[in-house]
Amino acid sequence: MTQEHKNLLSPEVVLQQMKKNGVTHVVWLPDSETNWLYLLMKADPDITLVSVSREGMAFSVAAGLHAGGKSPLILIQNTGLLESGDSLRGWALGLNLPVILLVGYRGWTRHGVTPDTAAVYTERFLHAFGINYFLVENDADSPRMTMAFEEARKTKRPVAVLVGDEFHGFNR
Amino acid sequence: MIETEEVLKIFSPHRGDAIVVPGRGGRYWIKLSTKPDLDLPLGDPAMGGHAAFAFGLALAQPNRKVVLFDSDGDVLMGMGILPTIAEHQPGNFYHFMLDNECWGTTGGQPVPNAGKVAYDAIARGAGYPRAFAFDNPETLTLNMARILSEPGPVFVGLKIVPEVQNDPIGRRKPWATRTRDQVLKDLRKELGLPG
């Protein structure tokens, strides 16, 4: 593995984290980072993909899946997270939904200077709803996903994992 | 036009062991149901999401019917879920929609293009293999057993009498007898699911 690859977040590692933590369904809407992950999930017999056309719907689908005994994960972009406020409030927080929000962090830069308002408002939005979150940028960060799953189960609340790797491994 | 309570009374004898998400009909259904642990009278966690919630439940419990009483306002807010439901073709999902042609909980203002939207045609166009529309209790009664014997997903649009609420939310009489948390716990217990 090259030094460059060590600094990437590979979709194989993300899928491994999902499976390790018992995810049965991924409720999702594609973002610019997730196509390789999509291809892997699609080929995996243990994961059922549920595609929605607006991100808020992902929260109510996930709430229904959880009510019926399954373990969903929500995979969306930060733009869609911003759209989902009322669904997050009502269907996730309101029903004590222990779900992971795997959120593509569009516009993320390590130095904090970004022209992308999607990034500017992402963490402020999570703060407003009291949603804890972890940042993952490369494979070495991936154990934070397990930490997020554990926190969600323990607190019976959604926990976000922000994927700060817009241009590299997640999209190859 | 059919009264909401009448819709639920017509459905009730056919319920079997179905999980019921009564949606806007919750206040009536909790008085009619004989299997409350299989009911999800959640009120309105966030408008527009009932179909997605019930669909998720149907995916999770494929061997049990899931019956939803949705509303036209909710469907309009979350219409994009219809193709998702159709894509998965949940054979156990029965999607009734109470069409009062208005926003009933905010004073009865008309929904967009009120009274002129063919929701059954939209559902069919989204990919539901079976979609029906009824505007009177007699034909609904005659067809209820057949509707529930069809493989899902089935969509049923029902023209209902508006029940308009004008009081501020804080002054409305609560009808729920269990918290949402308790409702979910009771369902999971009934289904033999952990905690």
> What confidence category does residue A167 fall into, taking pLDDT thresholds of 50, 70 and 90?
very low
Contact A59/B49, CB-based, under 8 Å? Answer: yes
Structural domains of chain A in order of their starting residue, each with its CATH number:
3-12+23-163 (3.40.50.970)
Q: In chain A, which residues touch B (CB < 8 A)?
A: 25, 27, 48, 50-54, 56-57, 59-70, 72, 86-87, 89-91, 94-96
- For residue B137, give how far its alpha carbon lies from the nearest alpha carbon of chain A (Å): 30
CA atoms within 13 A on the CB side of B59: 30
Mutate to test the interface with B, among A27, A49, A51, A57 (most CBs of B within 10 A): A57
Q: Dihedral sign, CA of B159, B164, B169, B170?
A: negative
Contact A64/B45, CB-based, under 8 Å? Answer: no
pLDDT for residue A31 is more than 50: yes
DSSP B120-133: HHHHHHHT-SEEEE
pLDDT for residue A6 is more than 70: no
- Measured between alpha carbons, how far is A36 from A34 in angstroms, rounded to an integer? 6
Q: Which amino acid is at B70?
A: D
Helix (H, G, I), strand (E, B) or coil at A17: helix
Least confident of A23-37, A99-113, B27-41, B48-62: A23-37
Q: Give chain B positions within 8 Å (CB) of A87.
A: 46, 48-49
**Residue B69: closest CA among B149, B109, B12:** B12
- Measured between alpha carbons, how far is A24 from A70 in angstroms, rounded to an integer? 6
pLDDT for residue A104 is more than 80: yes
Q: Give chain B positions within 8 Å (CB) of A54.
A: 78, 80
Q: Could you give the number of structural domains in chain B?
A: 1
- Measured between alpha carbons, how far is A68 from B33 in angstroms, rounded to an integer? 20
Q: Is B54 part of the contact surface with chain A (CB cutoff 8 Å)?
A: yes
Q: Give chain B positions within 8 Å (CB) of A68.
A: 56-61, 191, 193
Average pLDDT value for residue range A87-114: 94
- Tell me, yes or no, whether B87 lies in a domain: yes
Choose among A51, A53, A65: nearest Cβ to B56. A65
- Tell me, yes or no, whether B75 lies in a domain: yes
Helix (H, G, I), strand (E, B) or coil at A101: strand
Query: What is the pLDDT at residue B156?
Result: 98
pTM: 0.95
pLDDT tens, chain B, 195 aa long: 999 999 999 999 999 999 999 998 999 999 999 999 999 999 999 999 999 999 999 999 999 999 999 999 999 999 999 999 999 999 999 999 999 999 988 888 999 999 999 999 999 999 999 999 999 999 999 999 999 999 999 999 999 999 988 888 888 888 899 999 999 999 999 999 987
Contact B180/A67, CB-based, under 8 Å? Answer: no
**Residue A145: closest CA among A157, A156, A159, A155:** A159
Question: What token pair was written down for A98?
Answer: 């222990």
Residue position matching structure tokens 């817009």 = A166
- Measured between alpha carbons, how far is A14 from B151 in angstroms, rounded to an integer? 37
**Residue B177: closest CA among B6, B29, B9, B11:** B29
Per the structure, the complete domain to which residue B151 belongs is given by 4-190
Task: List, for residues A51-81, the tens digit of each pLDDT value.
Answer: 999 999 999 999 999 999 999 999 999 999 9
- Measured between alpha carbons, how far is B183 from B49 in angstroms, rounded to an integer? 17
CB A131 within 8 A of CB A159: yes
Q: Give chain B positions within 8 Å (CB) of A42.
A: none
Cα radius of gyration rounded to whole Å, chain A: 15
CB atoms closer than 10 angstroms to residue A53: 13
> What confidence category does residue A121 fall into, taking pLDDT thresholds of 50, 70 and 90?
very high
Q: Is B134 part of the contact surface with chain A (CB cutoff 8 Å)?
A: no
Residue B4 host element (H or E): helix B4-11
Question: Measured between alpha carbons, how far is residue B52 from residues A153, B48, B59, B83, B93 in Å?
Answer: 22, 8, 11, 11, 11
Query: What is the pLDDT at residue A2?
Result: 52
Helix (H, G, I), strand (E, B) or coil at A112: coil
- Tell me, yes or no, whether B195 lies in a domain: no
CB A138 within 8 A of CB A13: no
Q: Give chain A positions within 8 Å (CB) of B183.
A: none
* Reduced 3-state DSSP string for A128-149: HHCCCEEEECCHHHCHHHHHHH
Contact B57/A87, CB-based, under 8 Å? Answer: no
CB atoms closer than 10 angstroms to residue B58: 29
- For residue B159, give how far its alpha carbon lies from the nearest alpha carbon of chain A (Å): 25
ω into B153 cis (within 30 of 0): yes
Contact B49/A51, CB-based, under 8 Å? Answer: no
Beta strands in chain A (DSSP E): 25-28, 48-51, 72-77, 100-104, 133-136, 159-163
Q: Classify strands B154-159 and A25-28 as parallel, antiparallel or unpaired.
A: unpaired
Contact B59/A70, CB-based, under 8 Å? Answer: yes
- Tell me, yes or no, whether B166 lies in a domain: yes
- Measured between alpha carbons, how far is B155 from B178 in angstroms, rounded to an integer? 29
Query: What is the pLDDT at residue A169?
Result: 46
Q: Is B188 part of the contact surface with chain A (CB cutoff 8 Å)?
A: yes
- Tell me, yes or no, whether B149 lies in a domain: yes
Question: At B68, which CATH number?
Answer: 3.40.50.970
CB A59 within 8 A of CB A91: yes
Residues facing B158 on adjacent strands: B98, B134
Choose among A54, A64, A69: nearest Cβ to B55. A64
- Tell me, yes or no, whether B152 lies in a domain: yes
Q: Is B182 part of the contact surface with chain A (CB cutoff 8 Å)?
A: no
Task: List, for residues B17-41, the tens digit of each pLDDT value.
Answer: 999 999 989 999 999 999 999 999 9
